[in-house]
Amino acid sequence: MPRESRLLMLNAEAVAAVLQPNDVLEAVRRAFVLHSEAQGRVFPVIREKLSTGGVFGIKAGDVQAEGLLGFKAAGFWPSNRQLGGEPHQATVMLVDPATGRPVCIIDGNAITTARTGAAGAIGLQQLARADSRRLCVFGTGVQARVQVDFALRVLPQLDSLSYVSVDRQRDDGFERHVAGRLPVACAADADSAVARSDVVITATPGGGPLFAAAALKPGTHVNCVGADTRGKRELPDGVLERVRLVVDDRVQSRQIGESQWAPDTPCIEIGDLLTGKARLERTPDDVTVFDLTGLALQDLTVARLIHEKARDGGLGIEIPWPW
């Protein structure tokens, strides 16, 4: 006999109504802790190029003790810009681990953006020098902007921002986004901008090295966001060999992150820093790097948060899903 069940569908508007930065920070922190404690599993990542010019991927995982199971299907379709749409596309599905039936389908674009920004913020909290004041950002798109938002949330002492756009020209939209929060300037020379900075965030499509290795001065911290596929990179040769490297997941970093270019580089997982399994005593001259490849657990803990808030608030569209 068919069993009665219902499926909740949450579009971008519903997600935006319940997504709050502090909640996302806590959910992402929880994901890293679960990963460190081996309570949350991260399944092998699917990430493949398509004949259409896009890249399609699936990140899945579970937390058996908490009844959390699901995946995010996502990727990058650059031709969407010609249609007036967002190139990054993502959909998250939460699944009942007892039956395999879908529980909730969520527009994942805002989840991906916010959880990556929150992950970057946690990296800054753990690794950036406490006296960091000068921020340099590569990129001016959605992810670059959210990285700045979260950086200012956790490093309120930052007092200047330089940014490097793809064409080295001013981006009025980016400047309006940060206007009134700190002085901002477009950098004509990437190496000079890096050399003057305490914190560097690279949030680009990962098409190649963004600056010279010699530009990184002692004491700098770098958050690398863009390398999430085989062949992508943002750091130049010679950097990983002289830094203290922290990653969200050791295997993923070597497969699709910056570590694919120097796989023997010793590293620490960020979750192990949060749980105390590992320690990193930063000296003033250490150069530190946090490589963010994105964990399925981040998507799932944030999606669970959204699902619970939307359900309690009566948001979304619920449809019969009998079986």
pLDDT, residue 302, reads: 98
**pLDDT tens track for 21-36:** 999 999 999 999 999 9
Cβ pair 286, 244 in contact under 8 A: yes
Q: What is the mean pLDDT of the chain?
A: 96
Q: Residue 1 pLDDT more than 70?
A: no
Question: In the chain, pLDDT over 70 holds for what percent of residues?
Answer: 99
pLDDT, residue 258, reads: 98
**pLDDT tens track for 218-268:** 999 999 999 999 999 999 999 999 999 999 999 999 999 999 999 999 999
Q: Residue 2 pLDDT more than 90?
A: no
* Maximum Cα–Cα distance across the chain: 69
- Ordered by where they begin, the domains of the chain are 6-111+297-320 (3.30.1780.10), 128-294 (3.40.50.720)
**pLDDT tens track for 88-143:** 999 999 999 999 999 999 999 999 999 999 999 999 999 999 999 999 999 999 99
Cβ pair 158, 199 in contact under 8 A: yes
Please, is 17 exposed, middle or buried when counting C-beta atoms within 10 Å of its C-beta (0-12, 13-18, 19+)?
middle
Cβ pair 219, 197 in contact under 8 A: no
* Bridge partners for 107 per DSSP: 91
Question: In the chain, pLDDT over 90 holds for what percent of residues?
Answer: 97
**Which residue, among 284, 148, 162, has the nearest Cα to 225 in the 3D structure?**
148
33 CB-near residues (< 8 Å, 6+ apart): 271, 274, 275
pLDDT, residue 34, reads: 98
The runs of H, that is alpha helices, within the chain are: 12-18, 21-36, 109-127, 142-154, 172-178, 190-195, 250-256, 270-275, 296-313
- Provide the whole-model pTM: 0.94
Check residue 3 and report its DSSP letter. P
Across 151-298, the runs of DSSP E, i.e. the strands, are: 160-164, 184-186, 199-202, 221-224, 244-247, 267-269, 288-291
Cβ pair 136, 160 in contact under 8 A: no
**The two structure tokens encoding residue 72:** 């995010």
**Which residue, among 151, 123, 111, 36, has the nearest Cα to 298 in the 3D structure?**
111
If you count them, how many residues does the chain have? 323
R_g of the chain computed on alpha carbons? 20
